[in-house]
Each structure stands twice: as C-alpha cells, then as structure tokens.
Structure 1
Amino acid sequence: MAEASISEFQDQFACPVCLDLLKDPVTIPCGHSYCMGCIKGCWDQDDQKGVYSCPQCRQTFTPRPALGKNTILAEMVEKLKKMRLQAAAPPAHCYAGPGDVECGVCTGRKLKAIKSCLVCLDSYCQTHFEQHEKLFKGKKHKVTDATGKLQDQICPHHNELIKLWCRTDQQFMCYLCMLDEHKDHKTVSVAAERTERQDLTLDPNTAHKELCLSEGNRVVTWSNTVQSYPDHPERFDRWSQVLCRESLSECCYWETEWNGDKGVSISVSYKDIRRKGGGSECGFGRNNRSWRLHCSPSSYSFWHNNRNTRLPIVPSSSRIGVYVDHRAGTLSFYSISDTMSLLHRVHTTFTQPLYSGFWVGGSVFTGVGSTVRLCHHQK
C-alpha cells in the first residue's frame, strides 16, 4: 500500500481525543469510536452531573453507557500498524549484520554505520551522520570511516567504558575515575558536555493562577493566593502548570532545582497541548503531547500518555538536569549533585518543537506549595 494511502487510513483510525491510533477501541452508542482510556477519562469528569456526552457530536446518554472493546476495530488498527512499519522499513541490506559497525543512535534494529566521530565517541548511519554534521557545523569534530574500535574504548586505569568528561582536567574518563584521581572534580556525561546549554524563562501567559512567578520569570511557586493574571487563551485554567517561553533547540540541556513536600513535575511538551479543562489532554505526561518526570521527596516516576513508570531510585538531590536531542528522539533526565546520575531516558520520535514545562504542587489546607527554579548555566 502506498505511503499516502496508509496515512489516509491512519487518520480514519485516530482517536478524536488523543489524536493517536486507537488503543483498546470502543464504540459508543452514537457510533463514534475512542480509546477506552480516553473516553473513560472524559466521562469520569461527567460523573457528578450524571449526564455523559460524545466529545464529537455532543449526543448525551443517561445512564453512563457500558464500554466494551470493539475487537474488529482493534484488529484493523493492528493491521494498520504492521503496514506502517513495513512501509517505513529500510531495505534489508541497510541493517547492520555480523562484522558491521552499528549506528549508535538508531533505536530498535540498528542500521550500518558509515562514519565515526572521535569526539562524540559514537558511530552513525547516513541519516544520523547528516544530523551530526549539521549540529556540529564549524566545530572541530574529527570524523573517520566507521570503526568498531569506538565501541571498545575503555579506561586504561579501570577497564570501564569511557562515558564521562572531567571539566576540571578537560579529559575523558570512566565512572570509577570519579572515585579516584578525579574525586571532587566537576564531571558531566559526554552527551551533556557536547550539548548546547540553554537558558529558559517561564511564560506568564501560560501560568495557572495559583502559580506565582518571580526572579525575572525564572522561579515558580504554588500559592494559596490566586494571582491577578488576565485571562489568556494559552493559560492553564485547571492544572497548576506553566510552560517556558522559548522552544527548545534541536540539541540542548538545562537544569532546575526544586523543593516542597507536594512535589513537582519537570516536563517537555508540544505547544499545542490543551490548556482549558481538567482532563488528561491538558496534564503534562497524561497524553501523547507531553513527557514528565515527577519528583517527590520519596520517589521519582515518569509519565507519558497517561502511563506511569515508577523509577527504582531514591531522591538524593533537588537539582535535575534535562537533555533533549530532538532529531535523535532522545529525552534524558539526570540527578545532579557533585556528579550526574541518569534517572530515566526515553527514545521516541518528536514531531513538533518542544517546550519545557512544570507542574507545581501545593496544599489548600496548609497553604504551602512547592517551588521550581530554572538554573543559570555557567560556561
């Protein structure tokens, strides 16, 4: 089937709420179909009224209709997914086989690498090499024909992979070096060191009225006092959230500090995330338009598309680093103290510009809320 035809079919099988392919599809009495989770979320908000409506045609139902999976529709969606994968797959000879050097950026089945970078310590297929050249244009990155030797780069002192850069001594090293001759030095991951640092500011037009911005729109605090912000179409009116003004560059890194018993969420989001209402389509990490790391004093968890992944890490620092490589589809969260510790990494496909955003918690009973501060980067 031609790519255009697949795209046309994909639109027909998209959920009107999350705009993604139907998942566990259900058909409601008026004939419209939704993801099971999406329509449940919409109707959960109508429980107090006792009248339930179709988000598309607005036909109402009383009592709440029972929902059952549309198995025929589910089978058709699965077939569409398979056709989409087959249409997008590169020719078999492009994939890495025995003896080939794999592309270090590809996710899933790896393509053959054609070039290796001795600065980034990575190898690239044609597509990812073109992205590398564009990103580091004008910078002195030594490139060679693809070599598997990069995959075997080890620290001569500890026989561990070299994954870190010591800013104090300006040299590569392994994790064990941090405990030895580089103890108490300033160190970062190789990926973070080669990233363009980005300073961000909060956008007052998006801030919920329970959020107080200060220090040049670089600090946000939950407040029990409603702020006198004017009405604005981009303002979150139910979720205590705020977006940053600047879109994220193709490859960038920034850091935040947070505090508060009620926790915070550090997120990236497409700008078209919905702003009005308390549904999952507006909450960071509750839809397919956003990704979030939730931080509390006792735990971390990652949210995307309303799925929660609890991270088996006990918080030890209030400073979080975020790294985005838009073209490669990489999103990484780090715990920052004297060193950097990876908390969670996502490999996906970003289809729109990204914006950093924050959810900030608070208590109406105590009047006390959490705070997030955007950190200035020191070169």
Structure 2
Amino acid sequence: MEQQAVQLDRETFSCSICLDLLKDPVTIPCGHSYCMDCIKAHWDEEDQKRVHSCPQCRKTFTQRPVLQKNTMLAALAEQLKKTGLQVAPADHCYAGPEDVACDVCSGRKLKAIKSCLACPASYCEKHLQPHYEVAPLKKHKLVEPTKNLQENICSQHDEVMKMYCRKDRKCICYLCPVDYHKGHDTVSAAAERTERQKELDERRGKIQQMIKDKDKDVKLLQQETEDINVSADKTVKESEKIFTELIRLLRKRSSEVKQQIRSKQETEVSRVKDVQEKLEQEIRELKRKDAELEQLSNIEDHIQFLLNYPSLPALRETEHTSIINIRPLRHFEDVTAAVSELSEKLQDILKDPWTNIELSFTEVDVLLSEPGPKSRAGFLKYSCEIILDSNKADTQLTRTNQRQSNSGYYINQSYSSGSGSFTGCYQFLSRESLPERCYWEVKWEGQQVYVAVAYKNTRREENEYDRSWALVCSSSYENNYFKFVHDKFQTYISGPHSSRVGVYLDHRAGILSFYRVSETMTLLHRVQTKFTEPLHAGVWVSKAEDFAVFYKPQ
C-alpha cells in the first residue's frame, strides 16, 4: 500500500509535459496543473492557431488564460522533494509505443502489468486491484500483458472464444455451435490445449533427446579434436627428437670421417716428406762429387791429374730404379665413394614406400547435412522420374489409369489396389528406391491425397505410420489444409493452399521437405530424422474424384 501511495503522489504532483515534479505549478481553467514554464511554452506554440488547449483533456480556450501560481501545489511539491521522492521516468510508468497500455487509464496511459482474458482488457497496477479484491473478478484468467486480446474475440458474435472446433480447427465462442459450426465436434479450448500440449511435450521430448544426442556427439568431437592435437603435438615432439638424434649421429660420423681423413693426410704427407728429404740429401752428395770430378778434370798438368785420380772415392754404379709409387689423383677417392654409397642407401631407404614416413590417423565420420537448394533451379538439379510398381493382376488398369503423358504418371481411385500399404491405406509406391538426393513434384485434385515417402514391404501388423512420412493434401467446400503425418503425430500446416507439391529428399542427411510449387518455392514442412532403409515415393487417393500426377520437373 505504501508503494501505491508513493505512485499516487508521483502521478498527482507531476507535470504531464516534462514528467517531473511540478515547478511553479499553475492550474488552468479545466482543472489540470502544469509547470508554469511548460504550459507557457505549449501555448506559445499554439498562438498561431489562436486557440489554446489543455495537453491532457484537449479542452480549448478562445482566449489565452491568465496563469496564477498555485501556492498549495507548490508547497506540496516542495515537501515531496524534501522527502526524496522523484517522479519515475516515462519508460518506467507510462506506456511507450512498444508497451501494452492500460485500457482504463485516461489521458496519458500507464503500462499494463496484466491482461485479463475474460474482460478482455489490460490493466496497470492501480486498475488491476479490483481483480484481486472483487470475488467475481478473482475468477478471471490473468496473463502477461498482450496486445493480441482482440484475437480472442469471435468476429461473428463479439464474444470471448473459449471453445474449439476440431473439424474446422478453429477457436470459437459459445454461440458458434448454434449456427456456423452446428453439428461439429467441439470441445473446450482448455481440453484441446491439453491434447495439443501432450503432442507438444512429446515433440519437445524428442527434440530435447536429439539435442542431448547431438551434444554428446559434439563433446565426442571436441574430445577427438583434443586427442588429435595432443597426439600431433606428441608425435611432432618425438619425431623432432628422433630426427635431431639422427642428424647428431650423421654430424658425429661426418666429424669422425673428417678427423680420420685429416689424420691419414698428416701421416701420408709426413712419410712423403721423409722420402723427399732423403732424396734431396742424396742429390746434394752427388752434386758435391760431381764438383770434385769437374775440378780434377780441369787440371792441365798430366802428372798432377794422374797423381790425384787414385784418391777419388769409388762410385757405386747401379741402375736407377724409382722407389716412389705414385697413384695419380686417387688418394682419398675410396672414402668419397664410401660416403656417396652411404648417401644413396639413405635416400633409397627414405624413398622406399614401405619405410616412408606417412601421416595416418583414424577419420571421424561426421555427417553434416549439406544446405538444401534455395531456388527452383537448384531443386531441378536433383529432379528424378517416378515410375510406379504395379501388380501383374492390374495390367489392364495400368494401361487405363497409369497412363504416361508428357506431364507424368496419372493415378486415380480406380487404381487404388496398387501394391504396398501406407498410413493404413493402400497406395502406390515407386518401383525403384529413391536416389540419395532427389526432387519430384505431384499435382493433385480432389478431397484428399497423400503425398509421401515410405519404406517398402511394410507388414500389415506393423505400425505403418512408423515407416512412412506423408503430407496430407485436403480440399473441401468448407476448408483447405495441409497436414503432416508420421508415427503418432499429426501436424497441421498453415500457409497458402497449392494443388502442386514438390518433394525434396536428402536420404543421407535425413532431410525430407515438402514445398508449395508456384513461381516461387514455399516451404510447407521439413523433417529432420535418420532413415534406416531405402525410401520409395508414394501417393494414395481415396475417392473417385481424387487423382494425382507424378511429374519429373524440368
């Protein structure tokens, strides 16, 4: 109650122009009060019209009223300021363009906090109080504020609709069964809601289970991604370690070979130099002896020549044989050849497909549905011709009623003993199973035609609805509608009526879509499931005036 009093004070002592507490309040002849500056500014704008009006009640004054300060309101407004109470902003109390306004408020309307389905009207907190205090009003159904209350009113009788006609699938009032829906199967809206709620809950249960299953798949994929990353990082690290060790060994071996070559080089060069020094010493000794002989040869005195000749040392005369065995340009070629041979062997090992390092991993089979076509041209890429499977006993009927023309295959009720059963009734199935992705069209006329896909060889004792997916096309004098049927579910489909239906199937992705075919493709219903067997196209007609034509779209 204290909150209500505060709200009342805010409304009473606030200016409806500036939405703030009154400043220098004045009261005009109609009784409404404003800030002096606010009403002056408002009337200044109206001076050109020569008619001044109240912003709230719109009462006009031929002469501009003389404004006098309302001292009592000024004192009360000042007292409110001292208590710390402020006027709530407009978006906190007054209804904006997107809000539901109170239907009782006069002037500027407050936001509604509840809507009453029985009244029907929407109320702010103040005007809703009778629904909490008055006994008859306490029984009314209050809901969150809604702008669509008028949709709950019967357009024929202007009464609240609380009943439902199952034949026409429409909400009606209690007077409708007397005339427009006389003899129809009618129930209370609450009873119909209960039935539909059960179907909705079952459908939600399936969807939620699908969400759980897909969440599990997502978690498995996330774990798989993590495992792939961990395995890849570990393998890279280990392979780098192995290759690093291999490179280290190759460098070590290279260093050892280099050291051996240098050591052998030093030994061989030292040996050659020793032989060279010995030969050079012999050459010097021979040159000395040759000089002595030259000197004796130059003595002119024969006696002196003969006296000195016996003193010459004896010269050992031997045939010259070289002790040097030269291997022209083949000092370390054997080492080079050995290293080359090792290199070739390593290259052959790396090139060998049995020892070649290849990335191998376990692929994750992730089935993601490809996006369906967006235009008629896109659907035509998957167009296929439907050829029906007929019994041998119906050969004559086949010639008559399943006649092939330029447009497709024609089927009517006289040929209703076709093979296969579907949705509890005999119907025609395609001879061949449908491709993985395909599209076809069916033109129909009559009261009721089923356009569908189904597993073949359905046994009569089985639940045939579990093995078929059907779009029921219905047309009557009173009503036209589409309805999707599978398992225990029936889904009524709103939207424009069409005598031509397109069917698109993506078997692997589990997508089945029905379209209204005209200049544009309008989706009527789409199914996302998992098909476990090959599918066949099917159609069923029930009355003599019903017929359907299979088309291969072009």
Q: What range is the shorter-chain TM-score in? A: 0.3 to 0.5
TM-score (norm. length: structure 2) = 0.31
User: Which protein has the bigger strand share?
Assistant: 1
Higher helix fraction (1 or 2) = 2
Q: Which has the larger radius of gyration?
A: 2
Structure with more contact order per residue of length (Cα contacts < 8 Å, sep ≥ 6): 1
